[in-house]
């Protein structure tokens, strides 16, 4: 996404291989789209990520990495900001945003990776469009690119968690209405709201899966309150700013392990709240180990990145 690194191959496997690192481990998946069928997960694995070059070489020997590959940046490796669209032609937005970001980020933007996503607007209002600006410093992108080239498996795209989760959320949309998806991860949670196939809003919530499942009731309750307050505020903001999107529901992943939290939030927000069912949008039959909701949630960002079109 931030940077497309093209490569030529005599023969390509269909679909995408996506790698989503988290600390010193990486989740890797291969997803193939077919006309008239659910996208199919071909395989999934977890690998060591201490040395990305070694990891890529090892994976290339054991898995069919001939497919197009995409890497997902970790949360600390980029910034996602909401801005008014520049008053210049659309093709010049990226350059205009680069100069504006100089006062907004704590790294050099001259050689940073920059991408721009337009936020769907209310067609009845004639105000300037809003955008997401994604900025990643060279220090985040260069090691990834170098590892790919050294392993002779250069990336075709670099993605972020928010747009990876967008790819999943849009597959659950009904009647053109907006959808909200909360991914509760191992270190934090990510909420995305999508409309018209695009990202409408994204928030990080500093609550992890372990905190929401803590055996101590008092600790768990504190996590419930912290997470639900952020969800309330964010969804209320969606109602105020994007009422035209007509938010349909909030889904949570992993689903079954969070049933108590889902019931708790259900009484606090204005839309239905339900468990997210990955099997309803992706064929998981080739990877029976992902029958468990928590395992699915661990791979959700990687699967979403592999669902990119093209």
Give the pLDDT confidence of 150-167 residue by residue, as tens digits.
998 899 999 999 999 999
| Band of pLDDT at residue 138, cut at 50, 70 and 90 | very high
| Residue 186: predicted pLDDT | 93
Question: In sequence order, which ranges of the chain are alpha helices (DSSP H)?
Answer: 52-62, 93-101, 138-150, 161-169, 209-212, 217-241, 259-266, 293-306
Residue tagged 């010193």 (tokens): 24
- The pLDDT of 247-255, averaged and rounded, is 96
> Does the pLDDT value for residue 264 go beyond 80?
yes
- The pLDDT of 85-89, averaged and rounded, is 90
| Residue 127: predicted pLDDT | 67
| Residue 11: predicted pLDDT | 52
Proportion of the chain above pLDDT 90, given as a percent: 78
**pTM of the predicted model as reported, rounded to 2 decimal places:** 0.93
| Residue 126: predicted pLDDT | 64
| Residue 7: predicted pLDDT | 37
Other beta carbons within 10 Å of 190? 21
> Does the pLDDT value for residue 45 go beyond 60?
yes
Distance from C-alpha of 212 to C-alpha of 261, rounded to nearest angstrom: 7
Q: Encode pLDDT of 270-282 as tens digits.
A: 999 999 999 999 9
Q: Which tokens is 124 given? A: 């009845």
> Does the pLDDT value for residue 234 go beyond 60?
yes
Instruction: Tell me whether the omega of the peptide bond preceding residue 254 falls within 30 degrees of 0, making it cis.
Output: yes
Q: Encode pLDDT of 177-219 as tens digits.
A: 999 999 999 999 999 999 989 999 999 999 999 999 999 999 9
Mean pLDDT across the chain, nearest whole number?
Answer: 91
Question: In sequence order, which ranges of 136-258 are alpha helices (DSSP H)?
Answer: 138-150, 161-169, 209-212, 217-241
| Residue 291: predicted pLDDT | 87
The 3-state DSSP class for residue 161 equals helix
* DSSP label at residue 243: G
Q: What is the DSSP string of 112-143?
A: SEEEEEEPP--TT--SPPEEEEEEE-HHHHHH
> Does the pLDDT value for residue 6 go beyond 50?
no
Task: List Cβ<8 Å contacts ≥24 apart for 195-199.
Answer: 195/120, 195/242, 195/245, 196/120, 196/245, 197/170, 197/173, 198/117, 198/118, 198/119, 198/120, 198/166, 198/170, 199/117, 199/119, 199/132, 199/162, 199/163, 199/166
Secondary element (H or E) of residue 51: none
| Band of pLDDT at residue 4, cut at 50, 70 and 90 | very low
> Does the pLDDT value for residue 76 go beyond 50?
yes
CB 188 within 8 A of CB 204: yes
- The pLDDT of 118-147, averaged and rounded, is 88
């Amino acid at each position: 996404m931030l940077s497309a690194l093209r490569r030529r191959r005599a023969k390509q496997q269909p679909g995408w291989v996506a790698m989503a690192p988290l600390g010193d481990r990486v989740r890797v998946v291969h997803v193939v789209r077919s006309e008239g069928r659910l996208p199919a997960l071909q395989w999934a694995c977890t690998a060591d990520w201490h040395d990305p070059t070694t990891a890529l070489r090892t994976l290339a020997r054991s898995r069919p990495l001939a497919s197009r590959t995409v890497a997902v940046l970790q949360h600390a490796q980029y910034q996602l900001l909401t801005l008014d669209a520049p008053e210049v032609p659309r093709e010049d937005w990226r350059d205009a945003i680069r100069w504006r970001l100089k006062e907004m980020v704590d790294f050099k933007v001259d050689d940073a990776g920059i991408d721009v996503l337009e936020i769907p607007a209310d067609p009845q209002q004639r105000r300037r469009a809003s955008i997401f600006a994604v900025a990643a410093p060279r220090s985040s992108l260069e090691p990834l690119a170098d590892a790919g080239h050294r392993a002779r498996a250069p990336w075709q795209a670099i993605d972020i968690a928010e747009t990876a989760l967008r790819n999943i959320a849009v597959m659950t949309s009904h009647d053109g209405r907006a959808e909200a998806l909360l991914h509760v991860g191992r270190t934090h949670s990510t909420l995305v709201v999508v409309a018209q196939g695009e990202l409408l809003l994204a928030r990080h919530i500093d609550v992890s899966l372990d905190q929401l499942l803590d055996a101590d009731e008092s600790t768990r309750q504190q996590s419930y309150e912290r997470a639900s307050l952020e969800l309330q505020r964010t969804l209320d903001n969606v109602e105020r700013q994007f009422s035209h999107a007509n938010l349909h529901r909030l889904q949570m992943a992993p689903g079954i392990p969070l049933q108590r939290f889902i019931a708790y939030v259900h009484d606090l927000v204005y839309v239905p709240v339900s468990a997210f069912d990955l099997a309803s949008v992706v064929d998981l039959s080739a990877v029976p180990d992902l029958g468990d909701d928590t395992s699915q949630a661990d791979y959700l960002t990687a699967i979403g990145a592999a669902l990119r079109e093209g």
